[in-house]
Amino acid sequence: MPDTAVDIGVVRLANPVIIGSGDHAMTAGGLRAGLATGAGAVVAKSLNESEAAKRQLDGSDHVLLDSLWRPVPWDFDPPADAMLFGRSGLHQAPPEDWIAEVAAADRDAARSGQYVIGSIILADLDTACGLARRYQAAGIRILELNIGAPHGDEAAPGAIVQERAATRVREITRRLREAVTIPLWIKLTGQSEDVAGLALAAKEGGADAVIVMGRFMALVPDVETRAPMLGTAGAIGGPWSLALTCRWLAQSRRKVGRDFPLLGTNGARSGLDVARFLLAGASAVEMTTAVMAGGFGAAARAVRDFDGYLARTGGAARDLVGLAADRQVGYGVQPDRPGYWRDFVPAESR
Ligand SMILES: Cc1cc2nc3c(=O)[nH]c(=O)nc-3n(C[C@H](O)[C@H](O)[C@H](O)COP(=O)(O)O)c2cc1C
């Protein structure tokens, strides 16, 4: 049996697969189905107290696109190149109801060595601190705060906030750190020119772990209707996001140090992708699109396939963390490949 356990500070996960927050994790049934996949943890759908954010859920719309921008059916069997483009909102239940459900699910999870993680998306900082205290009082063992939701600029005023300034990230984290003592994971935007700098700011503010990184805002023109698909800009992510996330994981690792736990999100679709994220510096990986588009079976497959990968290649999961990140060499001439550039230009241009 390969050793798939990973540590994120004081938290030990049985394996590095985490089902990320999203609309599949918005009911007690969804949280139970997530745990049944064998994933190390499930992040519950986020809430805040903004009425605008709740209303926004009713305006949610999504489309799956292949890599040639053609819509593909939403039949829970997506092609490997499927990208998810769309817009979403936040949980509509009164916070006390959802917090109680998430806490109950986390109690169940504890019995099987798993976790259900409570999640807040930032709107108002004082309110977020209050919600964090309520999560802790309800018995939740890990809290995630997303301060980088991609829709921050498009959403209705006051609905959600996307923080791109290190000073704000440090201050917000510090305030939440003062509010609760349970492990606090900060989820960052990918739409920053210095994601690694934001990771450092969250560490300095007292985060126990940092999640790199949110999806990107996009506009997809439809050549038939000549209108934007879904009528608006929206968030996008695809298998290609993995490489961008991995690069920021590696940069963040350099900045925050090898001992500070990072988590990866944005681009993982399979067990091998989980390994890729670990090699880039993540200690665990949050998968959302794979489950939204492919059903909970996609997470169960990722757990199995990661297991199979470790069994085939050897070693323990925790030993993979950062291996590829730390083997990067500079852009100088590679001794075994001098003048290699000629192979990449047409013969006429050499
Ligand atoms: C429909 C949808 C809803 C989401 N809702 C939330 C949310 O409520 N809170 C949150 O922190 N992230 C949310 N996310 C972001 C995901 O948790 C995840 O970080 C992101 O989609 C990138 O990972 P992926 O490539 O595995 O999808 C949502 C993503 C999608 C696609």
pLDDT at residue 151, rounded to an integer: 77
303-325 mean pLDDT: 98
pLDDT at residue 336, rounded to an integer: 82
pLDDT at residue 126, rounded to an integer: 94
**Pocket mutation for ligand 1, best pick of 83, 288, 291 (most atoms within 8 Å of C-beta):** 288
Ligand 1 center to 150 CA (angstroms): 9
CA distances from 332 to 307, 328, 335 (A): 37, 12, 9
pLDDT at residue 118, rounded to an integer: 98
pLDDT at residue 95, rounded to an integer: 94
Query: Is any ligand 1 atom within 6 A of the Cβ of residue 88?
Result: yes
Instruction: Place 273 in a pLDDT band, splitting at 50, 70 and 90.
Output: very high
pLDDT at residue 82, rounded to an integer: 98
Ligand 1 center to 134 CA (angstroms): 23
Ligand 1 nearest atom to the CA of residue 60, by list position: 1
CA distances from 253 to 11, 212, 312 (A): 19, 11, 27
pLDDT at residue 157, rounded to an integer: 73
Which of 50-59, 117-126, 301-310 has the highest average model confidence (pLDDT)? 301-310
Least confident of 57-61, 73-77, 295-299, 304-308: 57-61
Residues 135-183: tens digit of each pLDDT:
999 999 999 999 988 877 777 777 777 888 999 999 999 999 999 999 9
Tell me the CA end-to-end span of the chain in Å, nearest whole number. Answer: 53
All structural domains of the chain with their residue ranges:
6-329
Query: Is any ligand 1 atom within 6 A of the Cβ of residue 37?
Result: no
Ligand 1 nearest atom to the CA of residue 290, by list position: 26
Ligand 1 nearest atom to the CA of residue 238, by list position: 25
pLDDT above 90 as % of the chain = 83
Mean pLDDT of the chain: 95
Q: Which amino acid is at 141?
A: R
- Higher-pLDDT residue of 337 and 277 is 277
Q: At what angle do helices 271-280 and 241-256 cross, to 10 degrees?
A: 30
257-269 mean pLDDT: 98
Least confident of 48-62, 160-174, 211-225: 48-62
Instruction: Place 277 in a pLDDT band, splitting at 50, 70 and 90.
Output: very high
pLDDT at residue 335, rounded to an integer: 79
Pick the CATH number of 6-329 from 3.40.50.720, 3.40.50.300, 3.20.20.70, 3.40.50.970: 3.20.20.70
pLDDT at residue 302, rounded to an integer: 98
Ligand 1 nearest atom to the CA of residue 267, by list position: 25
pLDDT at residue 211, rounded to an integer: 98
| pLDDT above 90 for 56 | no
* 277 contacts 20 by C-beta, under 8 angstroms: no
pLDDT at residue 261, rounded to an integer: 98
242-265 mean pLDDT: 98
pTM of the model: 0.97
Query: Is any ligand 1 atom within 6 A of the Cβ of residue 48?
Result: no
* 200 contacts 170 by C-beta, under 8 angstroms: no
